[in-house]
Amino acid sequence: MDESPGLRERKKAATRLALHDAALRLAIDQGLDRVTIEAIADAANVSRRTFSNYFSSKEEAIFHGDTMRLRRMLELIREQPTDEQPWTVLTRAALRLTEESYLDADTEWLTHRRQLRGHPGLAAHQVAAYATVEREVAAELARRLDGDDAALRSRVLAATFLATVRVAVQGWIEHPEQPLLDAVRAALAAAAPAPTRPADLAADPTP
């Protein structure tokens, strides 16, 4: 396993998390654009300049939680056996992540997220967070595929998979009556690609 990360790294993670929490909390009860970076830094007991050393914008700080979860999902994908169907691998990783990271999501967190949603331009930064890991997921998938179109297929799989997870989570945030686990399962089932069948109906672009 990896060694204990050392004091320095732990402190960095702590301030990063403190900034994230402060940003989230302040944005929730004042509205994102009425919160200055300085206020966030103050709430986390660091200087404004230090905030910039960690995040390049308020939005990045806000979505740091998502970023961490997505990194975790990448780990979970890497842990999966390499002799499985790619979509099965991805589905299991997503469900695992949901179990270990989202089930403890309290109602409070949900209402928070629902208040954040709606702010224009925030969704853009969320998809950006997903796009960041997309390359890495694709790289991991490429290691598991072969065939001449492996490069394309791995990138398509990574992109569609992450897009689907995003849709499932976003949908659940707005309609939390159904458990997230079921939402993720249903979404991934709906998006499961058909087993590779070279020329099918999509190959006819006429009318």
Partner DNA sequence: ACAAATCTTGCCCAACAGGCAAGTTTGCAC
Partner DNA sequence: GTGCAAACTTGCCTGTTGGGCAAGATTTGT
- Residues near its own copies (CB under 8 A) are 80-81, 85, 87-88, 91-92, 95-96, 123-125, 127-128, 130-132, 149, 151-153, 155-157, 159-160, 162-164, 166-168, 171, 183, 185-203, 205, 207
Contacts within 8 Å (CB) and 24+ apart, 64-72: 64/16, 64/17, 64/19, 64/20, 65/20, 65/24, 66/126, 66/129, 66/130, 67/129, 67/132, 67/133, 69/97, 69/101, 69/102, 70/129, 70/130, 70/132, 70/133, 70/162, 71/133, 72/97, 72/100, 72/101
**Taking the complex as a whole, how short is the minimal distance between the CB of residue 21 and its own copies, in angstroms?**
23
In the complex with DNA, the residue whose CB is nearer, 4 or 107, is: 4
In the complex with its own copies, the residue whose CB is nearer, 9 or 149, is: 149
**Pick from DNA, its own copies, none: which does 15 bind, CB < 5 to 8 A by kind?**
DNA
If we measure between CA atoms, which residue out of 41, 32, 38 comes closest to residue 62? 32
Q: Look up residue 64 and give its amino acid.
A: H
In the complex with DNA, the residue whose CB is nearer, 57 or 111, is: 57
Structure tokens at 73: 């999902």
**Taking the complex as a whole, how short is the minimal distance between the CB of residue 5 and its own copies, in angstroms?**
25
- Residues near DNA (CB under 7 A) are 6-9, 11-12, 15, 36-38, 45-50, 52-54, 56-58
**Pick from DNA, its own copies, none: which does 195 bind, CB < 5 to 8 A by kind?**
its own copies
